[in-house]
Structure 1
Amino acid sequence: MFFRTKFLTATALVCALSTPAFAEGPDASTVVATVNGTDITLGHMIATKQTLPPQYAQLPDEVLFQGILDQLIQQVVLSDAAGDDLPLSVTLTLENQARAVRADHVIDNAIKAAVTDEAVEMAYAAQYEGAEPEAEFNASHILVETEEEAAEIVTRLEAGEDFAELAREKSTGPSGPNGGELGWFGKGMMVPSFEEAVLTLEAGQISAPVETQFGWHVVKLNETRVKDAPALEDVRDELAAGVEQVAIGQALSTLTEAATITHTEDEAITPDLLSTVTLDME
């Protein structure tokens, strides 16, 4: 079906008309149309606009107005045709959707109250202010299957052969074609034995063979640097998302703990019922 709450029909969009004139001071309760005794208000239209996907919501109001109104009229007509004797599946879906909308409203309020400039600044201070600067490493490696192969590579490197050329020739790792370069990484990003080898090297030095679950490595530390704390604006969105998640978790925890929840203890209620019990779909 092409009648959906969040999508406008193509016909409704292209048949846009001018906004009708109101008496003075129209607001959300202003009735725009009445269908079979059901009022469609300006508030209904605004709420519908707020649920549109971006490609529709960004259209000018003079384009959207008649399209949204036509959609709501169609919905009332179709809803009336359904009558009151609805299939169980429809009734349950309506109940679920009503709960979901109310739940979203509570979560939105919790987020608005929690995600403030002050909260984001506090999160920044907690995460970055006073923290020790982090060292980062730029390294290359050559990965082979055996310790003997790795030892031979070390010998060839000590004799003056070029690391990148040997990596392209010998390495079985995905970085081989790129001369073994791994780029920049911080502590905890590599497997422990590999990281330990990197930490023992000075820039330009080559390690003895190092074993990991991937095979045997010969590692070259290219350079190191200290990673400064990012500017607040560079991580504002990330920090805000973290504050938001904490707020949602706290709201859910508080409300759940205060709720009276009783689980039905019946051995007949088993997970497979989700697939074996059917709803009427008439």
Structure 2
Amino acid sequence: MTNLITKLSAGAVALMLALPAQAQDSLTADSVVATVNGTEITLGHMLMVRASLPEQYQQLPDDVLWDGILDQIVQQTVLSQQDANEDSRRVQLALENERRALLAAQVIEGIVDDAVTEDTVQAFYDETYLQAEPTQEFNASHILVETQEEAAAIVEELNGGADFAEVAREKSTGPSGPNGGQLGWFGPGMMVPEFQTAVEQLEVGAISEPVQTQFGWHVITLNDKRNQEAPDLAAVRSEIETQLSQQAVTQKIAELTGTADVTRTAKEEVDTSVLSNLDLLEE
């Protein structure tokens, strides 16, 4: 599963080339790789920066990243030490928010890992796609004209034996006219409601009465219909995993907030314009 924690800390890294080989034996996350005026920089600090890199940098080899990451941390440390006597209120609040977000993301990651497994994905797929009622798809053609009278005349012409595609090419004002009115395959809800309803009520080969939509007047014929085949699991796996994740997280959050002792200041009691007063952070 995607590591949700590292995504929250993504930042740009200035990359540099030329790197010495680094011994890895006996190194741990607490191993000190540099000091800046006595402040230790550990391998763990570097690992967290590496984990938070954008995807395009994740593909670079470690020896290309080492100096760039370490240089960034050294530079940030030097800068931060210039105001080391006391963190500003902005920094304190930002750190509190970041810590809260990281802890929450860690819990969410655990919820998602528990909820999204091969068994749950397969069960969701079976229930949603294999065991569900089949969905019909329709293949139709239409002739679009401006008035009901024109459409009625076309219906009469077609019922008299005229070729639908030829009439469409000759008289339809819609973009499908040059193609004989052919619309191809479509499923439920893909057409405007009036058109969709008319198509679903037709028998294969039948010609509709004039149908009005926002685009004008239509004469429709149903060329064919079929049951829509279930997609392969691989094609919908990502969508299933997303749905399972969202359901599990939403349910857990509702459960936790429902049992938590939460108090809120009523919005009516606050001048909400204070939310734009960033000067308060300087007090």
Query: TM class by shorter-chain length?
Result: 0.7 to 0.9
The alpha-carbon deviation at position 182 of structure 1 amounts to: 2.4
Match of 2:197? 196
The alpha-carbon deviation at position 112 of structure 1 amounts to: 0.9
- C-alpha change, 1:150 and 1:85, in structure 2 (3 Å) is farther
Runs of 5+ unmatched residues, structure 2:
1-8
The alpha-carbon deviation at position 48 of structure 1 amounts to: 0.9
1:21-48 deviation digits (Å, cap 9, x = unpaired): 36x4112121111122222111211111
TM-score, normalising length from structure 2? Answer: 0.85
- C-alpha change, 1:252 and 1:177, in structure 2 (3 Å) is farther
Match of 2:155? 154
Whether the aligned pair in 2 keeps the contact of 1:28 and 1:42 (CA below 8 Å) is: yes
Matched, 1:230 2:267: no
Match of 1:29? 30
Matched, 1:245 2:242: no
Match of 2:17? 15
Give, as a single letter, the amino acid of the residue that structure 2 aligns with 1:38: T
Runs of 5+ unmatched residues, structure 1:
none
Whether the aligned pair in 2 keeps the contact of 1:89 and 1:279 (CA below 8 Å) is: no
Q: Distance in 2 between matches of 1:169 and 1:81?
A: 79
- C-alpha change, 1:189 and 1:64, in structure 2 (3 Å) is same
Give, as a single letter, the amino acid of the residue that structure 2 aligns with 1:128: Y
1:191-222 deviation digits (Å, cap 9, x = unpaired): 44323321332333321101234432111212
Matched, 1:272 2:277: no
Whether the aligned pair in 2 keeps the contact of 1:145 and 1:216 (CA below 8 Å) is: yes
Q: Secondary structure at 2:268's aligned position in 1? A: coil
Give, as a single letter, the amino acid of the residue that structure 2 aligns with 1:121: Q
1:147-204 deviation digits (Å, cap 9, x = unpaired): 1121122234345554345445544445445443322122343344323321332333
**What is the aligned-residue RMSD (CA, Å)?**
2.7
Instruction: Pick which of 180-189 and 46-55 moved more.
Output: 180-189
Match of 2:109? 108
Aligned counterparts, 1:75-86, within 5 A? 75-86=76-87
1:211-237 deviation digits (Å, cap 9, x = unpaired): 234432111212112222223333222
Whether the aligned pair in 1 keeps the contact of 2:137 and 2:228 (CA below 8 Å) is: yes
- C-alpha change, 1:130 and 1:149, in structure 2 (3 Å) is same
Q: Distance in 2 between matches of 1:36 and 1:166?
A: 86
Q: Secondary structure at 1:272's aligned position in 2? A: helix
Give, as a single letter, the amino acid of the residue that structure 1 aligns with 2:121: V
Match of 2:4? none
Aligned counterparts, 1:249-268, within 5 A? 249-265=250-266, 267-268=268-269
Match of 1:132? 133
Instruction: Pick which of 249-258 and 81-90 moved more.
Output: 81-90
Aligned counterparts, 1:2-81, within 5 A? 6-9=11-14, 13-21=15-23, 24-81=25-82
Whether the aligned pair in 2 keeps the contact of 1:19 and 1:65 (CA below 8 Å) is: no
Whether the aligned pair in 1 keeps the contact of 2:16 and 2:67 (CA below 8 Å) is: no
Q: Distance in 2 between matches of 1:140 and 1:81?
A: 73
Q: Distance in 1 between matches of 2:184 and 2:282?
A: 57
Q: Distance in 1 between matches of 2:117 and 2:104?
A: 21
Q: Distance in 1 between matches of 2:109 and 2:99?
A: 15
Number of aligned residues: 275
Q: Distance in 2 between matches of 1:84 and 1:8?
A: 27
Whether the aligned pair in 1 keeps the contact of 2:16 and 2:65 (CA below 8 Å) is: no
Q: Secondary structure at 1:15's aligned position in 2? A: coil
Q: Secondary structure at 2:132's aligned position in 1? A: coil
Q: Secondary structure at 1:260's aligned position in 2? A: coil
The alpha-carbon deviation at position 270 of structure 1 amounts to: 3.7
Q: Distance in 1 between matches of 2:186 and 2:262?
A: 47
TM-score, normalising length from structure 1? Answer: 0.85
Q: Distance in 2 between matches of 1:91 and 1:127?
A: 48
Whether the aligned pair in 2 keeps the contact of 1:88 and 1:279 (CA below 8 Å) is: no
Q: Distance in 2 between matches of 1:227 and 1:77?
A: 63
Q: Distance in 2 between matches of 1:108 and 1:115?
A: 10
Whether the aligned pair in 2 keeps the contact of 1:107 and 1:251 (CA below 8 Å) is: no
